């Protein structure tokens, strides 16, 4: 692999809204301000989709079962999500991004990568662009955003977490490799709990440990992700910021540290996955007609169950209904379930309204 100096230096900004859903709820309802709130779930069931910083202080975080969250924080207030509002705010922040660059890749409603190497304002300094964007977001939406600035996507994403909330950080080409060496691999973007556990078993706990492994070793153990891990251990990430990705499907899956045997926990684990794929579709104005549930058993046998509806699913509740339909017949099962996944396909653009407007700005 080439070394860092052989790449043209890109300027990438990763913008990430702070506790997005929760902050929108606190903005719109003064009674929720300065209080521990959870968006999504209820005191009895479901999972937390987003937690306010006041709730995080109690150890509440997204994807946590609501029951656990309530136990950690007895005063926790559960607020139902309002995706139409989050989508509208998301549109506002994208219009701000579009003032700076067309090379923008949203990751979800509240996060995006921007390539500002060449930008519409002719600004030299990427950290200044990030400050301006955050100030405009605050002015237009009343909400705080954090930003990471670096020379590739991986480091920009890691940097946006460094001074959160309401802060920004830069990782320079000089600092990148050193930063990665000191970083625990479980904090890497792209390393989930299952991969982190596997790395730990292989003696890889930090970027420095990862850097000691050969490319062959990483490919052997992590397949297609091997070259990616090999690169990022050296502060190298060649992935481009891809604007307006046209995708055939959008999916999310999760491998569990303990096998599941019953419907209820399985349904609970699927909730954040559904929310993730739904948020992606919402963020990109995409409708989906086909839902596929993937189930991998403890013995590594895998099945998929699909259902296609005549018109794009109108709301996440409809997606949940279809997933329930596909999931229910799987149980009871003698074999434990080690992985669940949800994929949406038969995608179509839903609202052409916002897209041309963004293009006009160029």
Enumerate binding residues for Mg ion (CB under 5 A). Answer: 16-17, 20, 110
Please, which residues bridge with residue 47 across strands? 65
C-beta of residue 159 within 8 angstroms of C-beta of residue 169: yes
Distance CA 59, CA 237 (A): 32
Query: Measured from the CB of residue 20, what is the shortest distance to Mg ion in angstroms?
Result: 5
**Catalytic annotation on 111?**
yes
Q: CB nearer to Mg ion: give 144 or 271.
A: 144
Interior angle at CA 243, CA 86 and CA 215, nearest 5: 110
Radius of gyration, CA atoms only, the chain: 21
- Residue 295 has, within 13 A of its CA and on its CB side, a CA count of 24
Is 181 exposed, middle or buried (CB count within 10 Å of its CB: 0-12, 13-18, 19+)? Answer: middle
Q: CB nearer to Mg ion: give 22 or 293.
A: 22
Catalytically annotated residue among 25, 54, 105, 111: 111
Query: Measured from the CB of residue 167, what is the shortest distance to Mg ion in angstroms?
Result: 13
Q: CB nearer to Mg ion: give 17 or 64.
A: 17
Q: CB nearer to Mg ion: give 222 or 278.
A: 278
Query: Measured from the CB of residue 110, what is the shortest distance to Mg ion in angstroms?
Result: 4
Query: Measured from the CB of residue 134, what is the shortest distance to Mg ion in angstroms?
Result: 13
C-beta of residue 215 within 8 angstroms of C-beta of residue 1: yes
Query: Measured from the CB of residue 199, what is the shortest distance to Mg ion in angstroms?
Result: 25
Query: Which residues does 3 contact at the CB level (< 8 Å), separation at least 6?
Result: 234
Q: CB nearer to Mg ion: give 155 or 313.
A: 155
Distance CA 347, CA 281 (A): 9
Catalytic machinery residues: 111
């Amino acid at each position: 692999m080439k070394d860092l100096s052989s790449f043209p230096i890109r300027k990438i900004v990763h913008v990430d809204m702070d506790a997005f859903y929760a902050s929108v709820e606190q903005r719109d309802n003064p009674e929720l301000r300065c209080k521990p709130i959870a968006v999504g779930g209820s005191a009895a069931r479901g999972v937390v989709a987003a937690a306010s910083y006041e709730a995080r202080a109690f150890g509440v975080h997204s994807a946590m079962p609501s029951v656990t969250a309530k136990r950690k924080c007895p005063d926790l207030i559960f607020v139902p999500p309002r995706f139409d509002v989050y989508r509208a705010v998301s549109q506002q922040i994208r219009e701000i991004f579009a003032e700076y660059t067309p090379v923008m890749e949203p990751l979800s409603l509240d996060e995006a990568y921007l390539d500002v190497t060449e930008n519409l304002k002719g600004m030299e300094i990427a950290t200044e662009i990030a400050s301006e964007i955050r100030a405009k977001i605050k002015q237009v939406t009343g909400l705080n955003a954090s930003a990471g600035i670096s020379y590739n996507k991986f480091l920009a994403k890691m940097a946006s977490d460094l001074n959160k909330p309401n802060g920004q950080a830069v990782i320079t080409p000089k600092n990148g490799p050193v930063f990665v060496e000191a970083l625990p691999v479980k904090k890497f973007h792209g390393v989930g709990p299952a991969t982190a556990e596997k790395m730990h078993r292989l003696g890889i706990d930090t970027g420095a440990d990862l850097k000691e492994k050969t490319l062959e070793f990483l490919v052997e153990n992590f397949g297609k992700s091997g070259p990616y891990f090999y690169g990022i251990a050296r502060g190298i990430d060649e992935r481009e910021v891809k604007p307006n990705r046209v995708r055939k499907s959008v999916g999310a899956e999760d491998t569990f540290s303990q096998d599941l045997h019953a419907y209820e926990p399985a349904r609970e684990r699927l909730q954040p996955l559904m929310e993730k794929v739904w948020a992606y579709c919402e963020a990109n104005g995409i409708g989906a007609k086909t839902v596929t549930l993937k189930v991998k058993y403890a013995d590594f046998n895998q099945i998929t169950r699909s259902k296609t509806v005549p018109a794009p699913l109108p709301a996440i509740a409809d997606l949940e209904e279809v997933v329930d339909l596909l999931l229910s017949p799987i149980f009871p099962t003698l074999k434990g379930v080690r992985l669940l996944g949800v994929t949406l396909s038969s995608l179509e653009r839903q609202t052409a309204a916002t897209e041309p407007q963004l293009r006009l700005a160029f």
